[in-house]
Structures are given as C-alpha cells and as structure tokens.
Structure 1
Amino acid sequence: MPLTAFKQAHIYERQAAPKEKHKSIIQCLECYDRNVYMGTRDSLVQHLILSSSMNGELDAGLRKTREGRVRKLGSSNPVTQLRAVPVFNHLLVLWDRCVSALNMFSLEPIPALKKIQHVSSFEVCKSSLTAQSQAACVEMVTSSSRRKVIQIHMVGVDRWEAVREVSLPQDPVALAVDGASICVATSDRYLLCNSKSGNSVELCPHNHSRQNALVTSAGEGEFLLNGPGSLGMFVMKTGICQRPPLQWPEELLAAGVCFPYILTLQPQVLSVYSMLDQKLKQTVSLSGARGLLSTSVFTERDIISLSLVPLEEQIQALVRHDRVEEALLLLDGVQSHLPLDSYKELHKAITCLAGFIQFYQEAFSEARDLFIKGELDPKEIIRLYPGMASCLDEAFQSQPVQVRKARDLHELWQEDRSIFLHYLDFLGDFLRAIRGTEQGMKSSKEVDCALLRLYAEQGDTDNLEQLVASPNACRLDLCVPVLQQHKRFFALGSLYQSHRMQANAIKTWMKITDGQLDDPSCSDVYEHIVRTLSQLEDRDAVWTFADWTLQRNQEVPVHISYSQFNCRGQSCTMQQYGINIKTEYQGEKYVQTEVESNIGAIRGKLRQLLWDSVYYDISTVYERVKSTALHTERAILLGRAGEYSQALQVLVHQERDPCAAEAFCCRASQGQGTQLRLTLLLTLLNIYLSSEDLTSAAVDLLNRNPHVFAPQTVLQLLPGSWSLQLVSQFLVGALRETSHQRRMGRLQRALAQADSICFFLCVCKKDFTELQFVCNLRGELIHTSCSGYTAS
C-alpha cells in the first residue's frame, strides 16, 4: 500500500473566452495566507482570496475561491515571477525583465519604488521576512539579464536600492537565497556565493538545458539542486552534503521540499520522495503541469493544492498496515516537529506494536526487548493468556492493539500445546525481566500473581520458592487457592511468612511434617521450622510451637533455645526453659548437661567465626551482643573494630579471665608483627597494675612473657611499693633473654665475616695475607699481587 503523504484539492480553474485561451495561461503563482496571486501569459496579475487558511498554506479541504482585483501590466510578455513581501504589503512582480512593486490588495503600483530593469530572475530572502515582523527592510537578490552578476537589494516600505553585487563566471540562470548564502545556477554549473564577502565557490557542474537547471531552498541553511546524472543533491550553505543524494526522474519542471518530503514535478505526475530513506512514497497524476510553488501545483488553467497529512496520521496509517520499521523511521525523522509528549507516546505505542508483531511470529527475544523499550503495561500481555485474567484488577481497562495475523492464545492452548508452552515460557521470561523495574512496579501485584500461577502450573519449584520466599506483592486471596490447588504447601507457608503471617506459615509446615498435607516438592521441613523459630523475635510464637518441635526431636530444639534466650543474655530463662521441658520429656540432670555441652560447642564455633569471617557487619553484631553475657564474644568484636583497650577491659573486669585476656593479645596480633603483641601486652599490664586486686595477675603476666617485655620499660611502670623479690623471676628471665640476644648477634656477625673471607679465598685460591684488593674485569675482588697490578 503506498503512503498517502499529501491530499490534493482543486481550488481554482481559470475561465477564458475561446479566442483568448492561449493568452490566459497561468505562468506563475504566489501564495500568502488567504491570498493567492497568479501571473498569466497575457501580462495579467490576478488576486484570488480563499475562504480561510491553515498555517499560511492552502487548505486542501477548501474549494471556494473568490476572485479579487486584476492588474494589467502591458499588452504583451508574460508575468514570469511573483513574490509577496507582507511586512510592507508589497507584491513584487517580474515582467518584461523588470521588477516592479504593487500593493498586495489594490494591485496599484507603488510610485516610490521605481522599476529595477534587466532582471532575469529574483528571490526575496525568507529569513529576513520572518526574522522580525517590524523589519525596516528585507533583502532581495536579482540576477542580471545583461551582465554576469547578481545584485543584492535592500527593500523598504517606500524605497529600494542595490547595495552589493557579486560577479559570476557565467550568466546566472536560477538562484535561491538563505540569509547571506546564495546558491546560483549558471549555464553549466552551480555556485555558492556569499552576499556579504562577495566570494563564490563552485559546487558541481550540470549538463541540463537552461530551463532545467533547478535550485531551491530546502530549509534553514540548505539548498536542493538538480545535479548531474539526475541526482537531487542537498548542499549546505557551508558547501558540504549531509544527506545522501536522491535519484529522481529526468526533465523535471520543478522540485521543492516540504519536510520530510521532496516533491518533484513532471508534466503528467508529481512524485513524493522521503528525505529520510530517499524512497518514493506517493505519486499524484496530473495533466499539463507547469509549475510548483511549495505544495501548490498549477497547470495552464488550474491550481491544485497539496496539503500534508498530519504526521501522526501518517505514522498510524503505516502502523495499521504493519509497516512498523517505516513508521519508526518517520517518527524519529520528524521528532523535532512534534511536541515532546506526542513523540514519546507515539514512539512507545509503535514500539509496542512492533513487539506484538514479533510476539505473534514467535520471535520472543525481539518481542521482549521491544515491550521493555516501549514500556508496555504488563497487564496487556497477561490478559492474553487463558486462566490469567483472574490476576488482573477488575478496574483494568485494556487497550488492545490491532495486529494482523494475531493468534488467539485460548485457541492455541486447546489446539497446539507444544507451541503454547513456548508462549508460556515467554510470559515468564518477560515478567521476570521487568519485575522490580519501574515498568513492573506499576503492576507489581499482577506481575507477581501471574508469575506465581505460572510457576505453580509448570511445576517450577525453584523459581516458585524464590518468589514466595522474598518480598513480593502477591495477593493472598488469589494466590493461596492456586498453591493449594497444585499442592504447593511448602511454598504456601513461605508465602505466609513473606507476608509476616508467621503463625500461618509454621502451622502449614507442621501439617506437612505431620502428614496432613502432601507436598512432594520439599524435604527437611522439620529442620526448616526449627531454623525459622530460631530466628523469630516473637517470643510468644516460639513458646507456642516449642512443644511440638520437642515431640519430634529433643536435640534439634537446643539451637532454638540458645539463639532465642542465651544470646539475649538471659541465662536464667535458658535454665528455666530446660527445667520446663525436662518434666515432660527427660530427666532434669540429663537435659541441663546436654544443653550446657551444646552451648559450649556452639559458642566455640561462634568465637571462631567472629575472629575469622569477613562477611558480617561488626557494628551490627556488636549491637546485638553488647547487652548480653557473651563477654568473650563482645571482646572479639571490639578487637576486630580496633578497640583493643576496651576489649581487654571487658575480659579482665567482666569475664574475669586473665588467660582469655592474654590469649586475646596473641590472637589479635597474629600475623601483625611483634610490635602489636607487645603493645597489647603492655596495655593488659597497665590494666592489671591499675587495680591492687589484680597484682597477682600482673606478676603472672610478666613471668610468662619475660622474652617479650623490655625490663627498663616494665620497671618504669611498676609501683614503688613492689619488692624486688616479687619481680625477680621476671627480671632473671628478661636478663637471660637479653644476654641470649646479644650473644646471638655477635655470633651472626662472626659468621658473616667468615663467609666474606671464604668468598675472597675462593676467588684467589690463596691465603688471606694482604690488606689491599682490586676488582678484576668480571667484578670479582682479588689480591693485588694476583692481578699483576703494580701501584706507581
């Protein structure tokens, strides 16, 4: 189907007496708002008035035209060119190689504006017409019929004058103006001239006859030329081409631009090409066409208006005929000519339509990407699937997209299950891709409900568990029956839990464990219940289900009791809990012993974890244990945070375990060097020395580490009341260590000297008897006598 880019309307037909038909032929045309001006072969200027206007162009929907005044310029010679200057109410007329000025409405001559003679063609600079409504003057360019020049004139309300002229290598044939840039066609080439500097640049040659050398303005800063080889060439005022050339018909009468289209006129047809892809979009049949002005075509006696179909309508027409890529190309090309909101909405709609076309062709990957790019409401996809309508809100109003060769998925589900399964896979893939994004969040309930139903029906246990175990927007009134229907009871419990219905979740899992509900998709439900209870902060809920857990297994619930009670620093509650359960299940002594044994092992693992792991947040864990009786664990966390002094204070004064404090110094400095260990032990010593009750602990610390502490440092710290006998053991050990280190140092130096001597002897193979040495060519040290060198 060809694109209808323009609509045509016949707006005027010139009547003439049979004897004057050859004289009354329309020769040229000019339009402004409701005013149309015709120039005829018999020297007439005719004013026509349309009933209304649309954006300054002829309205194709209007056919009524009223004839206005007529001006006879002479007895012969055609009117070859008309241009309106509405800012001054001037109508400029080229007749008999002279430019004259008439009033636009009375068609009376303006006496102050004398004729400009010897003109072959002229143009008014449109930018000067539109730049300021109150312009003092506008610019006009004329080409001389006698000289190889073009002249620049300034036109005012009651005067005009030539202000500059530009010399040319050949006679000018046609011209177009854009500001200071003038594109001129001569007899065999195109030139680009600057009206201010007078410079000209050759663009390209042409091989057309005089009447077919075409040049016209193609928009701001751009010209359209009829180039060599019948190529329509776009040339910027800088002299470069930014668009590919257009291959158009030979022997054109005229060409023009109405963005985003190029119009080319031949005697029997007007062709419409796209500036975006250079393809032919529309043809309009004519008879005896003579000229083209913007979007108005005239024959010898008729005027036909072409009005551009609104771009939105063109795009929608392409979409309706599945020409989606062409529609997107047109939309992107005219983006600057559309309101931003309209462009965005159209782009989304077309992108989504392209997605539906791919969807029904089973190109699912492409369809998913287009739906995401077009921000498709996921409800529009969900509604297509049988059984999924219940996931949608009753207030949802679908806006279905009409796509040719669309499939009914309800029929496909009954007729071809294998293909329908591919469509189901697409649904899951698409909904997962948008879940959590802005596109999916707008329909989060529908997305999550549809995914849950899809997973349950397909038996996709992993994805189902991941969905219900994480925060979700599933509607319980819709999703609970689905899980019950498909016997996904473990997932049902997880759904309750994700919606903070802990009691419902645990009760559901208990029924699975007790055999009241059958769910073959899960295992170890009992241990899952225990883990859940161990993490609950609702103490009452824990007590509610504690008895049931102990009836199933008397050992596993110890983890619940430890995490729920002891870790909160309530050792008395832990003991009471053990006493309560013993009366119903075991002897008191056995239970308490077993609990204490388990607690010791668990705390040992906890301490190791706190020392070694880098995958937990220290401050968060510290906040949980700082008010508990887990003093050693608290000290470890303080040490991991670099608060060594505070950690040692906890171990000394709260845990009251000197051995643990000293072990902390060793563990904290492990791999950090001896200096940190010495610093920590000195800190611990200072803590001991600050309290008279800890004197024995200080002495023991010194006696166990004489090789670490420096005697002079320790003596400065010790109180003056201490006796020499109290620290004698430390001093003896420290002095022995000092002597040992000195002796070892001397021994190492002696060994080093011996190695050096052996090195020299190995090179010379002689005894060491001289004090002077030299270096040979290999860089080795030898005796001077061995080298043969004699000092002068």
Structure 2
Amino acid sequence: MDLLPFTQTQVYEKQAAPKEKDKSSIQCLECYDQNVYMGSKDATVQHLILPRNTNGDWSPVQNKTREGRARRLGSRNPVAQLRAVPLFNHLLVLWDRSITAPLFEVCDSSLAAQTNCIEMVTSSSRKKVIQIHVVGVDRWEVVKEVPVLQDPVALAVDGTSLCVATWDRYLLCDIQSGSSEKLFPHNHNRQHVIVTSVGQGEFLLNGPESLGMFVMKTGICQRPPLQWPQDVLAARVCFPYILTLQPHVLSVYSMLDQQHKQTVSLSGAKGLLSTSDGVLVFTERDIFSLRLVPFEDQIQALVEHERVEEALLLLNGVQNHHPLDSYKELQKATTCRAGFVCFQREAFSEAREFFIKGELDPREMIHLYPDMQSCLCEDFQSQFDQVNKSRDLQVLWQADRNTFHRYLVFLGDFLRAVRSTGRGLKHSMEVDCALLRLYIELEDNENLQQLVAFPDGCTLNHCVPVLEEHNRFFALGSLYQTHGKHNDAIKTWVKIADGFYKDPSCSDVYGHIVWTLSQLKDRDTMWKFADWTLQRNQKVGVEIFIKCPPDDRVETQDVLAFLEKYPLALLMYLEFLINDLNSEVSTERHHSRLALTYVTQTLRGEEETESDLRATRGKLQQLLWESKFYDVSTVYGRVGSTNLHIEKAILLSRTGKHSQALQMLVHQERDLQAAEAYCSRVAQGQDSQSRQGLLLILLQIYLSSEDLASAAVDLLNNNPLLFAAEKVIQLLPDSWSVHLVSHFLVGSLRETFHHRQMARLQKALAQVELLRHKLNWVSLMIYFTFFTPQFARNLNGELMHTSCIGFSA
C-alpha cells in the first residue's frame, strides 16, 4: 500500500491557445461542495462542476469535470479573489484594480443567522486601516475600522480574530474590540508573505528564517515551528498536514512530528485552495486535486511498512480533530498491528505492551505457533492476515530452535499477562491448554505445576494425552485433582512413588500424597489409600489423620480402630490427641491407651534404636508423672511383671506407696539418683515437711542395708538443711562416729541456730511494733484530756460548759 497521505488527480485542463492570444489564464479559485469557480486573467468567472461518486467522493477518473456557465465582468482586469457566500447563493469577486479593497476575507460569525448578512474584512489601499463590513444582498456598510501602522499585504480571519501581515511584520487584531498586538517581524516580499487560518483560533505564518510559525489568537505558540523552503508561495492546513506550494513542487509536512511526508511535482503552480477533504492546486491552465487518503488507510499502510510509532502518532493526533465512528476498534487494531511488527523484530517487551493495550485476542497469538494450533477450536478464524508470520514461525520451529525458543518464552509471558483479563477469561480453555503445552516444551516444571495445581481452563481430553506423552505424571495427578478426580490423582501419584512412572519433577511424591489425603473431603478415596500410606511409612503416613483441617477431622474412634495394626502410627496419633488436640472426650481411655502403647513400644526394645528407646521411655515417664487421667491400676497391671522399675515407682507414688516405690528404686532399679529425684518430684509443690518425710524414708532404706551406708552418709551430708537432727540421731547406728556425720551435724545445728535466732529477732520486732502502737494510743488520750476546751459561748453569747450547750440546745 502507498504511504502517501494525498492522492493527486487532474480535475481540469484549459484548452491550449496561442501565447499571444492567451489572456484567459487561471488567476484564482473558489470551491463550495463540488462547485469550483475559476477567476481568469481576462475578468471571466468560470463555473466548473466536479464529478462525485455514490459515496460522495470526487472521482474525476471515472467522470470528467463539466463546465457550467461563464460570466465576463465589465473590466478586462484579472480576477484577483473569489469567495462563495452560500447564504446568498452569491460570489464575492475582487477584480478591478481601481477598487479600494485589494484584499478581503469573509468572516464566519453568528451574524448571518440573525440578520441575513455576513461580515467581511477588507484592507484599504488609500489609508492604513482594516475595515469590517456588514454585507447583504442589497446592503454594504462599514461598521468598524482598525488602524494599522503599514499597508496590509495579507490577512486571514478566524472568528473574531484577525491576523494581518504588513510589509515588515505580523499583527493580531480583535474585530470586536478593535485592539491590535504586534507579533514578530519578517523580511519577505509581498509574494512570499503567508497568513492562513488553521482553525480554532490559530494561524500559520511565514516567519523569519523560513519557519512556518503557528500563532494562537492569544499571541502564543503551542506548536513547534516548521522548517520549510525559502520560496514558498502559499501554504494551507489540511489537518494534520501542512501543504506548502513552490513554483514547481508541492510539499506535505505533518503537524504532529514536523516531518516531510510527500512531494508532488507541479510545473508553474500559482496557488492553493483548501477543500473539505484536501486542496486544489492550480497553474495558469490546469487544476489538480490533492485528496486526503482516509486515515484508516494511512495508518494501515504505515503499520505494514513497520512505521509503528508514526502510525500511532497519527491515530492519536487525528482523534480530536476528525472523530472516527470506529475509533476505538481502529485504535485496537492498529495497536495490535504495531505489536505484530515488534513481534517480528523480536522486540518482545514492546510487542507485549501493544498486544495488551490493543486487547488482542490471545487465540490470535496461539494461532501463530504451529504446535499450539491444536489448542484452538476448529471454527476459529484469525482477524489478522498473519500468513507470512505464521510461515516464519513454522520455519523457525523446524530450523532454528534457539530463536524459536525466544518466541516461546514471549508467548508464555503474554498468555500469563492476559490470563486474568477479560479476553483471557473468555478464552480460558485455549489459553490454559496452550500454557500447558508451552511449559512442557520449555521444560518449565514450576510454572506447569502452578498451572495445574489451581483451577484452570485445561480440558482433560486435550491435556491428559499431552502430559502422558511427555511423562509429566505428577502434573497429571494435579490436573486430575483440580478437576475433581481425586481417585485418579492419588492413583497416578502412587504409581510414581512405587516406581511404575518416572517423573523427577517432584522430589517428595509420597509426602505430597499424605498431605493431599489429609486435606481431602472425599473420605472414600482417603480410606482407600490409607493402608498404602501407612504401610510405606507409619511416622509420615499418620499425618493424614493428624493434619486434617480442624473443622473436618476424621472420627477419632474410626482412626484408632484403623491404627491398631500400625503401633507407631497409633502412638503418634494418641500423642496428637492428648498433647496437641487436648481431647476431652474419653480422656481416661486415651491417656491410659497412650501409656500402655508407650509400655509396649518400650518393651520392644530390640526393634528400636537406643536413642529412640530412651525417647519413648522418657515420654512414658513424663506422662505417668503429669497426667491425671490414666487408670493407674490398668497401667500397673501391664508393667508390674516387667523391669520398668522407675515407671512402677511412679505408679506407686500415685497411690501414696512411697516407701514401696523407693524400695523398688533403690534395690531393684539400683538407681540412687532416681530415688532422690523421686523424693524431690513427689514433694514438688508441697511444704518442706513432705520432702523431709520422704527423705527420712529413703534414709531408713539406706540404713537398713550395710551396702548402702555410704549412700546414707552422702544423703545426710548433701542435704543437712532438709533433715531434723533430733530425728536422724535416733536412726543412726551406734557404731557411727561423730566425724562421719560431722558435716551433717554442723549444717543441721547451724540451720537450727539460725532458725532460733530468726525467731527471736521476729519476736523482738513484733514487740517493738506493739510498743509503738501503745505509744500512739496513750498520746491520743492525753490530747483529748488536756487540750480539748471545756467551755464555749452559745448562740446568745453566754459562756457555758460544752456539755451544757448540747443539753440546752
């Protein structure tokens, strides 16, 4: 498609005549609708009727321009200017050199509708003024004059604003107020002075240094100047373009980026005339039409020639001046086309932004990739002609995998970006199926798993064969799960864990199965795979019951019955009920069962490591000490015939049989430290007398055996403050020397003396406190006895005893 913004057509050619007789050359033009009025050198006005096709566009290629009436004016002088006045169905003609107005322009104002008259601005050749006229069919009246410093050589009107060029500068004038403002000077001769209206209170002037200057009616410039040739004869604005005329060439510039866009060769060009959709250019014998190419076609041509930025600039620039009915759709289509251009250049970041801004249907992008087209429905029809681009990707797919890989990465970025948008949600099936294939192709297991692990638009009939073909079995299980097929999901993962499927994408398939079963509301599937889970690993498998959501736990009795054949799992589940869940249902039964399970686990010592055995026995002892809910007799019946002497001692302590418990620790367990610890643990939270009593029992046990005499001595010497000396002395054998228990005796006596001294001191302090209170009481009594007044005056002023005053009152 041609990139030129205007198409050139010759609409009129004057018949050739001998040069010496050719006095009818074209001097000026005026146009209204398809009517063109041509003023000639011999004072003739010729009416031309341009052809029009069914769409209202000029089409001189199909039909020739017809000549209407011609009228010769009274003088033989050239016609200098023509202006159509549709209100009167008249032409205003300036042709006689003797007339006092060498320049004139017709104003667009509200006066016409109110008075059936128009306003016209003229320059005077006799005095330096601008005159404003009110003109009707039978009326011609000067209503205002605006003085200027020099003779006007060019002028243009826009509403109430008037821009005037004199011999050396430009002026701005206000028609209503008559005020004027100097602009900038110029050094052009009369032929090259240019003043033309741009519209909306803006004028285009031929400024100094061959600059096209845009000046608002306020005197400021809102656009950058345009650099144009020195010998410009005329300039017109056909937004967003500026057309400048030279004797042999017409140049087109853009007002949006100030760049040259088109050149038209014309021999002997004399002037320009603006029309509704372009300009008319005339020479002495010919008239040419430069018609503006529809903006849609211009934009499409720019995009196809990969001039993306220019196309978008044009699209945005014309919106406010030429609103298009389908602007939004055109904007989207243009932006998407720009994205395809960037896509071809591998400018993926820009392409992604264009596609998102243009709301590209994601299926259009999927359609370009050969291996992704199976994700689309058979009835999908592309709205873009991307045959060449599709063929390029087909070649890359087969010949240049590295480059094609970059295109695949872009596709993933784009589809992820639009997946949550309106377009992506509308076509979620195609988008998600394409993403699944893409992640497999890129070996992106992380994104693949994230896609299938959450609700998606993937269809099973399309995606399951793809995942199976590429051995993505873990992702296949996740896809089954998100589509509600829990049994198929777990079955697929079990085959991975058992080695039937090879898929290294998940390092802990078994753990994932356990976690999934723990969160599963489908109880049938959970119980179906519970045996397999616990047979593989009781410690981990029991989590399917432990890590259930709090509001969706499996019935406790069902779990306990099921775990009977899995002792380690049963133990961990009971620990969970008691320690973590704090179950208050059947508390005694659960605590007792846990204690018995600990006992069983401890007695099976050959099946456990030494560290595990110590840990289990420690938990058993802690439970026996701290729990108040287990059945002591039931547990003792289980450990009574075993060598778990510490545990039996703890159970005996629960029934108050401390002497028997200590006997067992000393003589059967032979652990004196355990015996002493027993005394401390039992007496914890009680008064000192309780611990003294337990230690005396232990001392008696030590003293009853000659082998434990040294233990008795150590017990006394290490705890002198915890024994009453008078009681201990009665128990000591006569054969013991004082020196043997001297440390105990000294410590005990010192403690006894200390207690006595402290008692005396407390008694003395109490007596002092009592004496202080007595002193305060006596002082108070003396004050009331000696310092309280006995006489006072009554209301009448009479002196009376205080007791009498109360009586008389």
**Under a length normalisation based on structure 2, what TM-score does the superposition of the two structures give?**
0.68
Aligned to 2:634: none
The one-letter amino acid of 2:268's match is G
Alpha-carbon distance in structure 2 between the residues aligned to 1:258 and 1:55: 21
Counterparts of residues 606-685 of structure 1 (less than 5 Å): none
Once residues 26 and 629 of structure 1 are traced to their aligned partners in structure 2, the CA distance between those partners, rounded to angstroms, is 116
> Map of 1:565-576 to 2, 5 A cutoff?
573-576=555-558
CA displacement at 1:499 relative to structure 2: 1.2
Q: Which residue of 1 aligns with 2:96?
A: 96
Deviations 1:138-172 (A, max 9, x none): 21000001110010011234322110000010011
Q: 1:406 to 1:330 in 2, by over 3 A?
A: farther
In structure 2, distance between residues paired with 1:16 and 1:414: 66
Q: Distance in 2 between matches of 1:530 and 1:629?
A: 27
**Worse-matched range after superposition: 269-278 or 406-415:** 406-415
Task: Choose 79-88 or 544-553, whichever is displaced more.
Answer: 544-553
Q: Secondary structure at the match of 2:365?
A: helix
Partner of 2:524: 540
SS of residue paired to 2:209? coil
Equivalent residue, structure 2, for 1:333: 317
Q: Which residue of 2 aligns with 1:469?
A: 453
State the shift of 1:477 in Å: 1.0
Query: 1:420 aligns to what?
Result: 404
Partner secondary structure for residue 121 of structure 2 = strand
Q: Does 1:136 align with 2:120?
A: no
> Aligned pair 1:289/2:269, yes or no?
yes
Which residue, 257, 278, 286 being the options, matches 2:258?
278
Residue 603 and residue 7 in structure 1: after superposition, are their counterparts in 2 closer, same or farther (change >3 A)? Answer: same
Matching residue's letter, 1:164 = K
CA shift, 1:123, in A, is 0.2
Residue equivalent to 1:126: 108
Q: Does 1:306 align with 2:290?
A: yes
Report the secondary structure of 1:289's partner residue: coil
**Partners of 1:260 and 1:566 in 2: how far apart?**
69
Tell me the alpha carbon deviations over residues 580-609 of structure 1, each in whole angstroms, 9 at most, x when there is no partner.
453xx258xx986664233123326x99xx
Q: In 2 relative to 1, CA 56–247 (structure 1 residues): closer, same or farther, beyond 3 Å?
A: farther
Once residues 179 and 262 of structure 1 are traced to their aligned partners in structure 2, the CA distance between those partners, rounded to angstroms, is 21
What is the letter of the counterpart of residue 343 of structure 2? Answer: F
From the superposition, tell whether residues 591 and 227 of structure 1 become closer, same or farther in structure 2 (CA, over 3 Å). closer
Q: Is the 8 A contact 2:308 2:341 kept in 1?
A: no
CA distance in 2, matches of 1:399, 1:547: 56
- Give 1:231's aligned residue: 211
Could you say if the C-alpha distance between residues 273 and 565 of structure 1 is closer, same or farther in structure 2, counting changes exceeding 3 Å? closer
Which position in structure 1 is the counterpart of 2:14? 14
Shift of 1:560: 3.0
**Equivalence for 2:581:** 603
- Give the residue type in structure 1 aligned to 2:332: K
Aligned to 2:136: 156
Q: Is contact 1:175-1:184 (8 Å) kept?
A: yes
Aligned twin of 2:625:
none
TM-score (norm. length: structure 1)? 0.69
For the residue of structure 2 that corresponds to 1:419, the secondary structure is helix
Task: Name the SS for the 2:156 alignment partner.
Answer: strand
Contact 1:25 1:301 in 2 (8 A): yes
> Is contact 2:50-2:60 (8 Å) kept?
no
CA shift for structure 1 position 240: 1.0
Computing the radius of gyration over CA atoms, which structure comes out larger, 1 or 2? 2
Percent of paired sites with the same residue: 65
1:408 matched to 2:386? The reply is no
Question: CA 1:156/1:336 → structure 2, altered by over 3 Å: closer, same or farther?
Answer: same
Distance 1:539 1:58, change over 3 A: closer
2: distance between equivalents of 1:578 and 1:315?
A: 76
Contact 1:139/1:152 (CA < 8 Å) preserved in 2? Answer: yes
Classify 1:451/1:55 alpha carbon distance in 2 versus 1 (closer, same or farther; 3 Å): closer
Displacement of 1:445: 1.5
CA distance in 1, matches of 2:431, 2:309: 29
CA, structure 1 residues 173+580, in 2 after alignment: closer, same or farther (shift >3 Å)? closer
Question: As a proportion of its length, which structure holds more helix?
Answer: 2
- Provide the C-alpha distance between the structure 2 equivalents of 1:53 and 1:414, rounded to a whole number of angstroms: 51
Task: Say yes or no: does 1:397 pair with 2:381.
Answer: yes
Question: For residue 508 of structure 1, what is the aligned residue in structure 2?
Answer: 492
- The 5-angstrom pairing of residues 78-89 of structure 1 reads 78-89=78-89
Residue 469 of structure 1, CA deviation: 0.8
Point out where structure 2 has 5 or more consecutive residues left out of the alignment. 588-627, 630-685, 687-765, 770-809
Using the TM superposition, give the Cα deviation of residue 404 of structure 1 relative to its aligned residue in structure 2, in angstroms: 7.8
Structure 2 counterpart of 1:441: 425
Q: What residue identity is the alignment partner of 1:120?
A: P
Find the residue that maps to 1:527 and give its secondary structure. Answer: helix
Query: Residues 96, 57 of structure 1: CA spacing in aligned structure 2 closer, same or farther, 3 A cutoff?
Result: farther
Q: Is structure 2 residue 364 aligned with structure 1 residue 384? A: no
CA distances 1:725-776 after superposition (whole Å, capped 9, x unpaired): xxxxxxxxxxxxxxx9xx9xxxxxxxxxxxxxxxxxxxxxxxxxxxxxxxxx
SS of match in other structure, 2:69: strand
How far apart, in 1, do the equivalents of 2:272 and 2:373 lie? 57
Q: Which residue of 1 aligns with 2:127?
A: 147
Shift of 1:543: 2.6
Contact kept, 8 Å, 2:210 with 2:230, in 1: the verdict is yes
Q: State the distance in 2 between where 1:396 and 1:479 align.
A: 19
The residue number in structure 2 matching 1:202 is: 182
- Using the alignment, how far apart are the partners of 1:245 and 1:142 within structure 2? 28
1:404–1:253 Cα change, 3 Å: farther
For residues 378-428 of structure 1, the C-alpha deviation after alignment (integer angstroms, 9 at most, x for no partner) is 222222223212111212112344598887222223322222222222222
Say if 1:75 and 1:56 are closer, same or farther in 2 by CA, change over 3 A: farther
Q: What is the CA RMSD across the aligned residues, in angstroms? A: 3.4
* AA in 2 matched with 1:207: N
Alpha-carbon separation, structure 2, partners of 1:316 and 1:525: 54
- Aligned-pair CA distance for 1:330: 1.5
Change (3 A) 1:193 1:591: closer
Give 1:258 deviation, angstroms. 1.0
In structure 2, the CA distance between the partners of 1:523 and 1:302, relative to structure 1 (3 Å rule), is: closer
Amino acid at match of 2:578: G
User: Residues of 2 paired with 1:472 and 1:289: CA distance?
Assistant: 68
* Deviation per residue, 1:674-717 (Å, 9 max, x gap): xxxxxxxxxxxxxxxxxxxxxxxxxxxxxx9xxxxxxxxxxxxx
CA separation of 1:21 and 1:439: change in aligned 2, threshold 3 A: farther
| Distance apart, 1:297 and its partner CA | 1.3
| Aligned ranges 1:643-792 → 2 under 5 Å | none
Relative to structure 1, is the Cα distance of residues 13 and 20 closer, same or farther in structure 2, using a 3 angstrom cutoff?
farther
Q: Tell me how far 1:363 sits from its aligned partner.
A: 2.6
| 319-328 vs 491-500, which moves further | 319-328
Whole-Å separation in 2 of the counterparts to 1:298 and 1:292: 7
The one-letter code sitting in structure 2 at the alignment partner of 1:9 is T
The letter for the 2-side match of 1:70 is: A
C-alpha change, 1:121 and 1:357, in structure 2 (3 Å) is same
**Offset at 1:59?**
5.2
Code of the residue aligned with 1:227 in structure 2: it is G
Tell me how far apart the structure 1 counterparts of residues 19 and 246 of structure 2 sit (CA, whole Å): 28
In the TM superposition, 1:257-272 aligns within 5 A as: 257-272=237-252
Bigger Cα displacement from structure 2, 319-328 vs 186-195: 319-328
- Equivalent residues of 2:51, 2:59 under 8 A apart: no
CA distance, structure 2, for counterparts of residue 194 and residue 308 of structure 1: 33
Letter in 1 for 2:117: C
Distance (Å, rounded) in 1 between the aligned partners of 2:355 and 2:88: 55
Judged with a 3 Å threshold, the aligned counterparts in structure 2 of structure 1 residues 97 and 341 are, in CA distance, closer, same or farther, namely same
Tell me, in whole angstroms, the C-alpha distance in 2 between the residues paired with 1:57 and 1:123.
Answer: 28
Helix, strand or coil for the counterpart of 2:87? coil
Structure 1 residue 336: deviation in Å? 2.2
Q: Is structure 2 residue 509 aligned with structure 1 residue 525?
A: yes
Q: Which runs of 5+ in 1 are unaligned?
A: 99-116, 608-627, 631-658, 661-703, 705-739, 744-792
Structure 1 residues 265 and 135, CA gap change in structure 2 (3 angstroms) = farther
Structure 2 counterpart of 1:344:
328
Residues 356-375 of structure 1: matches in 2 within 5 Å? 356-375=340-359
Q: Which moved more, 1:469-478 or 1:541-550?
A: 541-550
- Residues in 1 aligned to 2:392 and 2:549: alpha-carbon distance in whole angstroms: 60
Structure-2 change in CA distance of 1:591 and 1:141 (3 Å): closer
Q: 1:454 aligns with which of 438, 442, 460?
A: 438
Aligned with 1:494 (options 478, 484, 495) = 478
Kindly tell me: are residues 311 and 561 of structure 1, through their superposed partners in 2, closer, same or farther at Cα, counting changes over 3 Å? Answer: closer
